[in-house]
Structure 1
Amino acid sequence: MNSAPTSHAEMPIPVKPQGENGTREKSGKLPPSRPTFWGHVQIARIDHWFKNVFVFPGIVVALGLDPSLLSTPGLPIQLFFGLLAVCLVASSNYVVNEVLDAPNDRLHPTKCNRPVPSGKVSIPLAYVQWIFLMVVGLGIALQVSFPFAMTMLVLWIMGCIYNIPPVRSKDLPYLDVLSEAVNNPLRMMAGWYIAGAHILPPASLLISYWMIGCYFMAMKRFSEYRHIDDPVRAAAYRKSFSFYTEPRLLVSVMFYGSAAMLFFGSFLIRYRFELILAFPILAFVMATYLSLAFKENSAVQNPEGLYREPALMTAVITCTLTMAILMFIDIPFLYETFHPSLPLTK
């Protein structure tokens, strides 16, 4: 009797990752390594802390909509400890991600050399590190404010939902992008509360920030899929790739980008119309990021390397500065120019 066909996700995939000395044992496994202190530092992904720049828009928007927050006593110290808490909680999520992704990382042509799959991390100690970073991060967050600490707790919980079975949303198509990108509005809320605000940020802004995060994450998936260039190997590396195709990923990118701009437009019309002047620059940032995803070995696959892309960095910095300035400068003629010319109906 013939056995049932093996699914793509279960098929053994031959890969040839290189160890530190560029060799393999005859068994096909990487040369054994011992856990090291540096290995545990690496899985905290301190080099990924730059992603927490997504906290700053929340700070800027809060201060722009309520300038009285600028006079909050000890604001610089509050900003420092707030950012430190965000970084520690993010590192806690990175640690559990590294540990639980190790079996799949061994099937990736380059990620097989990460600290966990290459044997440089003690797994029991890594779980202690995961909890320790969370506890310290939440402890610091409580010194900033209770709403901020609750936001950090939700950020940590979302990391668990994304990484830990039986949910492990990163294995589910579309939910992988949506659940990972929700960290964007959570970071914005973090910045909002770090600045001293006590009410919730506008929903339109949070949804826009969520969708722009989905746009970037879907582009990362698209670039990864193209880089692997083999549906079977791709599905073995990431379960959601058994469903994804290049067209499906590009269609989702279009949806996320459109939704992000729709809700951003809703926010600026109601709260800060001056931001409409930043639209062309923001569109250029999104177009530049899209173009990078089509490059071989694109930095889009590893966002920590995006700083090496001068065109993108120039556009991002220009857009950020423009939007920050427009949050504090009133331009009355814009309201006159775009004043409704037709009678409004109720």
Structure 2
Amino acid sequence: MRLDHWIKQLFIIPGLVVAILLTNPIININTFIKILIGLLATSLIASSNYVINEWLDAKFDKYHPTKKNRSAVVNKLKKEIIYTIYFLLAISGLIISSFISKYFLITELTLWIMGILYNVKPFRLKDIAFIDSLSESINNALRFLMGWFLITSSYLPPISIILGYWLTGTFLMQIKRYSEYRMINDKNTASKYRKSFATYNEDTLLVSSVFYAILAVFFIGIFLIKYKIELILFIPFFIGLFCLYIYISFKKDSPVQKPEKLYKEKILIAYLIFLFILFIILININIEYLDVFINNDLLPLKK
């Protein structure tokens, strides 16, 4: 079930924050109860995806330096028990989701379906280079939508922030593969562990990671500037976050391979806190001179 991975539901928070900022909802005790219920539902469905992932990946994980110690690899597990747990978790999560809203339920159902497309043959998107990261990171955009729909079911969020959030997830997935590939340090073994590694190499993984990062900043930048011009000052520091994450990926046995362990990276956590404080400051101030960036008038020159 990977209970330690439940921390990934923190990716729901930006959806909550953006929905609150853009829709000005009434926040009360029922809102917090709904959020807790939503987090539980998402965690259950995510756990169902983790169960099927570990079960179907067991024969590949034995080639990974650390995943070879997983229970599904070292123990002989009964298929009937695995699938019973899988469906119980998924059904429980979907039932709980139905109490929140129709749109939240649809988003959770999509999360579950993506787990099937990503892990199960004949789809098994995780075996196709580039499609693997792009498809897995759809879960990132889905978590944003979950946060949004926990606040409002009256509007859709801006497409720019959805695309930016999705591509941020793609960057995270691709840089994770880059770090894994470097750690295994043998293409033959790496390809046995993850079929897409037969196509990838260090260069393509790193370059594509940077490409996804640039696209993510582009779309998120559109959203930030469109809704609050002062947030243009946030963008350089946001780019710094991607640079820091790439730097961390160079470490031996880098924690980017296990995002649930990233809380141990003190510099990263400190930088995230700094970004949060900067964001709060910028959305609460007005700098009129920044209007030059959105003014369509040409500046006249003296004759």
For normalisation by structure 2, the TM-score amounts to 0.94
Aligned residue number for residue 33 of structure 1: none
Paired with 1:309 and 1:121, the residues of 2 have a C-alpha distance of 35
Structure 1 counterpart of 2:155, from 199, 204, 210: 199
Paired with 1:218 and 1:89, the residues of 2 have a C-alpha distance of 23
Name the % identity: 42
Q: 8 Å contact 2:47–2:89 — kept in the other structure?
A: yes
User: How many residue pairs are counted as aligned between the two chains?
Assistant: 299
Aligned residue number for residue 15 of structure 2: 58
Gaps of 5+ in 2: none
Aligned residue number for residue 126 of structure 2: 170
Cα deviation for residue 291 of structure 1 reads 0.6
Question: For the structure 1 residues 325 and 85, does the alpha-carbon distance in structure 2 shift closer, same or farther, using more than 3 Å as the test?
Answer: farther
> Is residue 331 from structure 1 mapped to residue 286 from structure 2 by the alignment?
yes
Gaps of 5+ in 1: 1-43
Cα deviation for residue 115 of structure 1 reads 1.0
Paired with 2:208 and 2:71, the residues of 1 have a C-alpha distance of 32
Structure 1 residue ranges, 4+ long, deviating more than 6 angstroms after superposition: none
Aligned residue number for residue 220 of structure 2: 264
Instruction: Indicate the structure (1 or 2) with the bigger Cα radius of gyration.
Output: 1
Q: 8 Å contact 2:221–2:235 — kept in the other structure?
A: no
Aligned residue number for residue 145 of structure 1: 101
For normalisation by structure 1, the TM-score amounts to 0.82
Q: 8 Å contact 1:281–1:315 — kept in the other structure?
A: no
Paired with 2:221 and 2:40, the residues of 1 have a C-alpha distance of 32
Give the structure with the larger helix fraction: 2
Aligned residue number for residue 264 of structure 2: 308
Aligned residue number for residue 38 of structure 2: 82
Q: 8 Å contact 2:229–2:291 — kept in the other structure?
A: no
Q: 8 Å contact 1:95–1:126 — kept in the other structure?
A: yes
Aligned residue number for residue 180 of structure 1: 136
Give me the CA root mean square deviation.
1.8
Cα deviation for residue 335 of structure 1 reads 4.4
One-letter amino acid matched to 2:124:
R
SS of alignment partner, residue 17 of structure 2: helix
Cα deviation for residue 334 of structure 1 reads 5.3
Deviations 1:98-143 (A, max 9, x none): 1111000112222111011111743321111111111111111111
> Is residue 45 from structure 1 mapped to residue 32 from structure 2 by the alignment?
no
